[in-house]
């Protein structure tokens, strides 16, 4: 089976150093396997979106020589797929409405204990939709890190697939799309290790063979904060990509040739694809001053 990888940014802000690492890592891994590299804009949470971010992200990827295969997919145009799956599960009893508030769950110990599972709630108003956890995943194999253990309570929780505000949950959308786009391997930041168990359990619930996962080390700043849009990480420079590319490639463990700065961006990307190997990845978080 041929390799299909992807980069799936949320347009809640511009690309920053942390997202560049995920973009480059997933790109090199896909291209080193002679595979395809898809881009999917994960715009399922409009209140957290920054106007113009989606097109700015695509522009940045092009400026950085990261050309994707096929058409860009937008989650905002795929609500029908997510809704159809939810309705199927509601009908079969695999999913159910839940009226518990976040506060109530916090008060009962932080994990949802299945309070509404057998209540047969039918009024979707002010309710979230949860999936009965019939396929708990307590560990998975990460390509770099080996066996990752998921806390028991987290693995067994009936998690939300549609929020009470009507928005589709990230875990549901990401798995439906990865399956539908034929993705064979997910390469992304280590901040997404935790939801991976749920995503694998969704593969099982959907009778699909789970795919491979590789979580890249997280870049953190001098204060130990990860680069994220919530932390207001600065956007990478669109007009001068080379310094950020070189910094990100060094972070990813490449030993760059001395004259690398004089290469074109396309040459940099080609060199990266040819020289990429998983063993070069740093063990864990590295501070980027
Ligand atoms: N959209 C997610 C983010 O920007 C990434 C999803 C994924 O790679 O699975 O953090």
Pocket test for ligand 1, best of 4, 6, 10, 212 (most atoms within 8 A of CB): 10
Tokens describing residue 6: 């992807």
Q: What SS3 state is found at 148?
A: strand
Q: Which atom of ligand 1 is nearest to the CA of 195?
A: 9
The residue among 71, 72, 73, 55 whose CA lies nearest residue 63 is 55
Q: Is 198 annotated as a binding residue?
A: no
- The string of pLDDT tens digits covering residues 125-168 is 889 999 999 999 999 999 999 999 999 999 999 999 999 999 99
d(CA 152, CA 177) in angstroms, rounded, equals 27
203 and 140 Cβ atoms separated by less than 8 Å: no
d(CA 102, CA 118) in angstroms, rounded, equals 19
188 C-beta closer than 6 A to ligand 1:
yes
- With cut-offs at 50, 70 and 90, classify the pLDDT of residue 228: confident
Q: Is 42 annotated as a binding residue?
A: yes
Q: Which residue has the tokens 């669109």?
A: 238
- The string of pLDDT tens digits covering residues 70-112 is 999 999 999 999 999 999 999 999 999 999 999 999 998 899 9
> Domains along the chain?
4-78+176-287 (3.40.50.620), 79-138+151-170 (3.40.50.620)
Pocket test for ligand 1, best of 4, 20, 42, 212 (most atoms within 8 A of CB): 42
On average, the pLDDT of the chain sits at: 94
pLDDT, average across residues 183-197: 96
Q: Which atom of ligand 1 is nearest to the CA of 188?
A: 8
């Amino acid at each position: 089976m041929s390799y299909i990888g992807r980069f799936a940014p949320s347009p809640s802000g511009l690309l920053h150093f942390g997202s560049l690492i995920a973009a480059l890592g997933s790109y090199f891994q896909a291209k080193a396997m002679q595979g395809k590299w898809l881009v999917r804009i994960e715009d399922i949470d409009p209140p957290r979106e920054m106007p113009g971010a989606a097109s700015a992200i695509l522009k940045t990827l092009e400026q950085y020589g990261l050309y994707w295969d096929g058409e860009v997919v937008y989650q905002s145009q795929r609500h029908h797929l997510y809704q159809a799956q939810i309705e199927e599960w509601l009908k079969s009893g695999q999913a159910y409405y839940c009226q518990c508030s976040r506060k109530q769950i916090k008060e009962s110990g932080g994990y949802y204990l299945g309070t509404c599972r057998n209540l047969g709630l039918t009024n979707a108003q002010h309710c979230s939709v949860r999936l009965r956890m019939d396929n708990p995943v307590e560990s998975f194999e990460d390509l770099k890190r080996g066996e990752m253990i998921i806390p028991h309570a987290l693995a067994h929780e009936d998690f939300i697939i549609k929020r009470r505000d009507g928005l589709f949950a990230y875990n549901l959308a990401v798995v439906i799309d990865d399956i539908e786009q034929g993705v064979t391997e997910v390469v992304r930041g280590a901040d997404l290790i935790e939801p991976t168990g749920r995503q694998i359990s969704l593969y099982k619930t959907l009778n699909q063979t789970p795919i491979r996962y590789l979580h890249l080390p997280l870049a953190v700043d001098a204060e130990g904060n990860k680069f994220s849009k919530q932390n207001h990480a600065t956007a990478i420079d669109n007009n001068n990509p080379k310094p950020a590319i070189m910094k990100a490639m060094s972070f990813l463990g490449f030993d760059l040739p001395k004259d690398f700065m004089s290469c074109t961006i396309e040459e940099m990307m080609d060199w990266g694809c040819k020289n990429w190997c998983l063993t070069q990845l740093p063990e864990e978080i590295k501070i980027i001053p």
